[in-house]
Amino acid sequence: MSGVTRLPEGFDEAFDPLFGRAFRVARRILGDDAAAEDVAAEAMARAYAHWGKIALQPWREGWVVRVSSNLALDAVRKRSRTSSAVVDTEVEDDDVVIRLALADALSLLPRRQREVVVLRHLGGLSEAECAQALRVSPGAVKTHLHRGLAALRTRLGPVMNLEGAASHG
């Protein structure tokens, strides 16, 4: 047996598009290329570990985007805990303030609402793709999306536009 590790079938072909999607959603949340690349790499490592289960599923891309967004939100929360004093007193970068506020508000949403909002608005998936990724009906996606966005508007105020915050960077 040679020392070469074989990738699971189809993983090599799927890697670049999936990594790109994972990177883009992480970059929108984190605002930092290096951190987004780390998150995307971790998301792909998890995809590799679960490839036997997700490889042929129509929700594979959504699964990777969801993992990436969860990892990015965790990174923002971790970063804000370790530097909250600095953020409160010295933040001058509006993008950083927006990203921290958005991550905080997203973390307060119920899990399914957060997943739908992130997949739809940060991951760029259609409602049908979100439904496929989460294995729920399109109607459930619309309901969770409506409730999640309403909660974000209440928490963040009328000046906060999710599409604007998501497209920064």
Q: For the chain, what are the domain ranges?
A: 11-167
Residue 67: pLDDT band (50, 70, 90) is very high
Distance CA 124, CA 25 (A): 8
**Full-model pTM:** 0.69
Which is higher by pLDDT, 160 or 54? 54
User: Would you state the structure tokens that stand for residue 140, as one six-digit string?
Assistant: 């459930």
Q: What is the pLDDT of residue 93?
A: 62
| Residue from 105, 127, 142, 141 nearest 29 by CA | 105
| Residue from 8, 73, 6 nearest 36 by CA | 73
User: Would you state the structure tokens that stand for residue 42, as one six-digit string?
Assistant: 């971790």
Is it true that domain 11-167 has CATH number 1.20.140?
yes
Q: Which residues of 19-31 are buried (b: 16+ CB within 10 A; e: fewer)?
A: bebbbbbbbbbbb
Q: What is the pLDDT of residue 169?
A: 42
- Stated as kind and residue range, the H or E segment containing 99 is helix 94-108
pLDDT tens profile 109-157: 999 999 899 889 888 889 998 998 888 999 999 999 999 999 998 888 7
Q: What is the pLDDT of residue 4?
A: 53
Q: Give the CA angle between residues 52, 55, 58 to the nearest 5°.
A: 135
Q: What is the pLDDT of residue 146?
A: 95
Distances (CA, A) of 100 to 31, 36, 103: 10, 15, 5
The residue to which tokens 């670049």 are assigned: 16
The residue to which tokens 């949340």 are assigned: 29
